[in-house]
């Protein structure tokens, strides 16, 4: 009897692990310090200094007291954020972080993984945080991660259970985990909450940013909140699904890497608000500033809007569909990712869905002129 496609896929990815590594980083007087690490594969090589820096990307050695979490109003709150690591083969891995206060000290728990499943790894961090707050990570982290890694990679919407022994070893608890159903986004983009992105910008502004992404511009996203900044910039990458942003991507730029903002190549970079003044002192190529708190987008260095370069009929449909989707989300009190992202997917389908008609197999050529002309028609049939 032959196996089902689902079983075949499960066999293909059975050797893949959910969690690549766990690190615990503390904030000391001298800056971020790696306190503990656990690698399921001991021989695995990771850029630990970079990871340590990204666990406190808003740390400023010249002004250490300016850290957001040191504000008394933020005491006891949790900061959830994520970053992306890209190796020399352009393969990406993700760091899902949670910053908490343990015994009055700021620490960041971080899971490194190949999979961009935001909500799932947030649930993993819930379990790890509860244990690490009360007990030594050396005794708690390895058995929990080994248990999680025994499970095959879940499919979208699939739930699974992990039996984890209690800290005293006298009992166990069954934890339920669910991978969000993010079918609309490609496998390497994952699913992020869109509420903060859509709550900050109008439909027109979102289309301006979307156009800048398509034309591979230099884009700076600015926020005073670490969590909001991380969530908004990752949400932006889902707008171009099934395509992928393959250029420089830094969700929260540490001060030590500020020179990346003067890069001549396209980038999508998040920065904390306090770095804006420092950016004004360095030479930058034309770029777009997306300010979350100000709910504004600003073109700099001679850069102008790319919206007029997109086919008008398809753009008009996208604008109406997106506006309706956002209105529905506001009525329900929560933005539904699939509802909001479908208009963007339909936009791409309306443009590229008919390209085969303009390919000549006889001459092995593509009638570019006719294809472009078809996009100016009132409607495009897919």
How would residue 68 be classed by pLDDT, with cut points 50, 70 and 90?
Answer: low
Structural domains in the chain?
5-178 (3.30.450.200), 195-308 (3.40.50.11500), 312-374 (no CATH)
Share of the chain above pLDDT 90, in %: 47
Q: Say how far residue 337 (Cα) sits from the centre of its chain.
A: 14
Q: Is 221 helix (H, G, I), strand (E, B) or coil?
A: strand
Task: Label residues 246-275 b or e (16+ Cβ within 10 Å = b).
Answer: ebebbbbbbbeebeebeeeebbbbbbbbeb
Q: Which pLDDT value is given to residue 361? A: 80
How would residue 187 be classed by pLDDT, with cut points 50, 70 and 90?
Answer: very low
Helix axes of 337-352 and 312-332: crossing angle, nearest 10 degrees? 170
Cα–Cα distance for residue pair 48/32, rounded to 1 Å: 12
Cα angle: 175, vertex 181, 182; to 5 degrees: 130
195 pLDDT higher than 80: yes
User: What are the structure tokens assigned to 264, written together?
Assistant: 């001549």
**Residues 63, 68, 73, 78, CA torsion sign:** negative
How would residue 41 be classed by pLDDT, with cut points 50, 70 and 90?
Answer: confident
> Nearest CA to 274 among 324, 330, 226?
226
| Secondary structure (H, E, C), 252-286 | CCCHHHHHHHHCCCCEEEEEEHHHHHHHCCCCCCC
pLDDT, averaged across the chain: 84
Asked whether 209 and 288 are in contact (CB, 8 A), the reply is: yes
Cα angle: 316, vertex 221, 296; to 5 degrees: 55
- Number of continuous H segments (helices) and E segments (strands) in the chain: 11, 14
How would residue 75 be classed by pLDDT, with cut points 50, 70 and 90?
Answer: very low
**Residues 35, 36, 42, 47, CA torsion sign:** negative
Q: Is 87 helix (H, G, I), strand (E, B) or coil?
A: coil
Cα–Cα distance for residue pair 367/253, rounded to 1 Å: 43
Percentage helix, strand, coil, to 5, in the chain? 40, 25, 35
198 against 61, higher pLDDT: 198
How would residue 141 be classed by pLDDT, with cut points 50, 70 and 90?
Answer: very high
Q: Which pLDDT value is given to residue 331? A: 81
pTM for the predicted model, two decimal places:
0.83
240 against 75, higher pLDDT: 240
DSSP assignment letter at 19: -
Cα–Cα distance for residue pair 191/252, rounded to 1 Å: 18
Taking only the tens place, the pLDDT of each residue in 240-266 is 988 889 899 999 999 888 888 888 999
User: What are the structure tokens assigned to 317, written together?
Assistant: 């449909």
| Secondary structure (H, E, C), 165-210 | ECCCCCCEEEEEEECCCCCCCCCCCCCCCCHHHHHHCCHHHHHHHH
CB atoms within 10 A of CB 331: 8
How would residue 185 be classed by pLDDT, with cut points 50, 70 and 90?
Answer: very low
Cα–Cα distance for residue pair 132/127, rounded to 1 Å: 9
Taking only the tens place, the pLDDT of each residue in 171-180 is 788 999 998 7
Share of the chain above pLDDT 70, in %: 87
């Amino acid at each position: 009897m032959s196996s089902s496609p689902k079983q075949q896929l499960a066999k293909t990815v059975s050797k893949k692990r959910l969690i690549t590594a766990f690190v615990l980083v503390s904030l000391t007087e001298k800056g971020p310090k790696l306190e503990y690490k656990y690698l399921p594969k001991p021989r695995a090589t990771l850029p630990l200094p970079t990871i340590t820096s990204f666990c406190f990307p808003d740390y400023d050695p010249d002004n250490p007291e300016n850290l957001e979490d040191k504000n008394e109003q933020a005491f006891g709150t949790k900061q959830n954020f994520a970053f992306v690591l890209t190796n020399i083969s352009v393969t990406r891995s993700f760091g899902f972080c949670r910053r908490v206060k343990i015994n009055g000290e700021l620490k960041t728990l971080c899971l490194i993984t190949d999979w961009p499943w935001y909500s799932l790894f947030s649930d993993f961090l819930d379990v790890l945080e509860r244990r690490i707050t009360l007990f030594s990570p050396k005794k708690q982290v390895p058995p929990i991660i080994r248990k999680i890694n025994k499970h095959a990679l879940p499919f979208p919407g699939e739930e699974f259970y992990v039996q984890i022994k209690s800290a005293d070893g006298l009992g166990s608890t069954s934890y339920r985990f669910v991978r969000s159903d993010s079918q609309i986004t490609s496998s390497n983009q994952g699913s992020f909450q869109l509420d903060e992105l859509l709550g900050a910008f109008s439909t027109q502004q979102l289309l301006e940013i979307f156009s800048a992404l398509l034309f591979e511009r230099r884009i700076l996203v600015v926020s005073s909140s670490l969590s909001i900044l991380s969530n908004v910039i990752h949400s932006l990458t889902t707008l171009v699904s099934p395509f992928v942003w393959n250029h420089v991507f830094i969700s929260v730029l540490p001060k030590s890497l500020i020179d990346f903002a003067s890069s001549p190549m396209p980038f999508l970079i998040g920065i904390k608000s306090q770095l804006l003044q420092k950016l004004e002192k360095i030479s930058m190529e034309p770029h777009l500033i997306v300010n979350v708190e100000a709910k504004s987008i600003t073109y700099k260095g001679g850069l102008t809007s790319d919206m007029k370069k997109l086919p008008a009929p398809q753009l008009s449909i996208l604008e109406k569909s997106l506006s309706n989707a956002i209105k529905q989300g506001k009525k329900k009190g929560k933005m539904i990712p699939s509802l909001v992202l479908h208009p963007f997917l339909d936009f791409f389908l309306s443009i590229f869905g008919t390209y085969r008609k303009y390919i000549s197999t006889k001459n092995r050529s593509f009638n570019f002129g006719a294809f472009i002309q078809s996009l100016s028609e009132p409607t495009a049939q897919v």
